[in-house]
Amino acid sequence: MDIQASRPADPSFSEATRTFAKIGLLSFGGPAGQIALMHRILVDEKRWLDEPRFLHALNYCMLLPGPEAMQLATYAGWLLHGVRGGLVAGLLFVLPGAIVITLLSALYLAVGDVPLVQGLLFGLKAAVLAVVLEALIKVSKRALKDWTMVVLAAAAFIAIAFLKLPFPLIIAAAALIGVFLRKTNSRAGAKAKAAAADAHMQIEMPEWARPNWRRFLVTLAVWLAIWFVPLFALHATLGGANVFSAEASFFSTMATVTFGGAYAVLAYVAQQAVEVYGWLRPDEMLTGLGLAETTPGPLILVLVFVGFLGGARLSGLDALTGGVLGAAVTLWFTFVPCFLWIFVGAPYVETVRNVRWLASALSAVTAAVVGIIANLAVWFALHVLFAHVGEWPIGPFVLPAPDLTTVDLAAAAIAVAAGIALIRYHQNMIAVLVAAGLAGMIWTLS
């Protein structure tokens, strides 16, 4: 059977652009909903990609640091129209949400002290606790397949929550442990993988998607320059202590270690942005996450909120100019690496996919991510439910010590109600967040 004959011809560039613009504007609901939307449009409706190719692209993007849904859109656009197709698809997936969250950040900075706005954000922050818990449950079911993965998740939680070890160190240690604990697959599993690989290779690939060492080196050089020349320029002209230079360096690091998506890295980002750099307050990280949940695009766009506040407060410029520049710097250094991973690595996906030690390492990283998300849930809960949270050092451990007399029962009630709606009854996340925001406004004004 001719595989290519079972689907229509590749779309024109303008048609693909319109379709990816539609995907970008409708990409609410986190990565699961965004991936489902792309599958429905690209595979079921348009039939531009068949099921094996779509799943193959998804598997590769799941192995990468960064937002997998955005990288899947980039991969799909690249398959259809090469680098220009990937650029358009990726940018259209990110820019609508980036523009919205930048506007919301400016609005927050301007009117955040208005009681009505405070009430809205109060409700959103409480509901975000339920969103993070729901994400923890979903990731746990997928990642914790045996007791070794459970132990890794617990160890990662202890390392980041109580030992305050750096996030990149935990990820690197988990990868090394995964390599060490690698188990050989069964013969049947190996045969099934080989058969799947053979089936995939029967699909005719466009010329630009075939491995080529010259193209690899040129693409690598170009995207490394796009990434690092602005980084070095900022440091050279503004100095390393400048907020824009610090944001460029920090978010470049985040772009290389964000395995497991936004939730996995938010606790580390919050810790650094709040305690080390002073870009925002602990409760404001929850505000940003709530805003990012209600906008299209990848959840990692919450970092744009962080960068906006940092630039607005510490750049020495007027708040709006500094904030917009901070948002732009954050956006650039968060997403440029995503294009690098796709354009450089995609032609060699089959090789990467069949390296068993790498798959084992990434499975261990995914398990560690569960522990890191659990820490995120605990960190957020403490700062939403209690007005004051201290620390209690015990040897090498640092335990949180909330002041129980400062508990916020209204925030707890909203969080519990949102959790029941999301986890027990699987209600629409946007609807739950809107309801929580309204509840917060009513409580604040009453």
**pLDDT tens per residue across span 422-433:** 889 988 877 888
- DSSP 3-state of 90: helix
Nearest to 277 by CA among 256, 302, 300, 248: 248
pLDDT at 200 over 60: no
Predicted confidence band of residue 28 (pLDDT cuts 50, 70, 90) = low
Q: What is the mean pLDDT of residues 382-396?
A: 89
Q: What is the mean pLDDT of residues 318-339?
A: 96
**Farthest-apart Cα atoms in the chain, separation:** 71
In terms of Cβ atoms closer than 10 Å to its own Cβ (0-12, 13-18, 19+), residue 180 is exposed
Phi, psi at 65, each rounded to 5°: -70, 150
The span from the CA of 262 to the CA of 281, in Å, is 19
Predicted confidence band of residue 37 (pLDDT cuts 50, 70, 90) = confident
DSSP E strand stretches across 324-394: 389-394
The span from the CA of 48 to the CA of 8, in Å, is 7
**Predicted confidence (pLDDT) per residue in 135-176, tens digit:** 788 778 877 888 999 999 999 999 988 998 877 788 889 889
Predicted confidence band of residue 380 (pLDDT cuts 50, 70, 90) = confident
Predicted confidence band of residue 69 (pLDDT cuts 50, 70, 90) = confident
> Considering the chain, what is the average pLDDT of its residues?
84
The span from the CA of 313 to the CA of 109, in Å, is 10
Lookup result for tokens 């969080």: 415
Look at 44-53, 178-187, 195-204 and tell me which has the smallest mean pLDDT.
195-204
Return the HEC string of 139-177: HHHHHCCCHHHHHHHHHHHHHHHCCCCCHHHHHHHHHHH
Torsion, Cα 439 433 401 386, to 10 degrees, reads -20
**Predicted confidence (pLDDT) per residue in 213-255, tens digit:** 899 999 999 999 999 999 999 999 999 999 999 999 999 988 8
Nearest to 32 by CA among 424, 434, 422, 436: 422
> Helical H runs in 241-296?
243-257, 262-271, 282-293
The span from the CA of 347 to the CA of 56, in Å, is 12
Give pTM, 2 decimals: 0.74
Look at 110-114, 228-232, 287-291, 347-351 and tell me which has the smallest mean pLDDT.
347-351
Predicted confidence band of residue 194 (pLDDT cuts 50, 70, 90) = very low
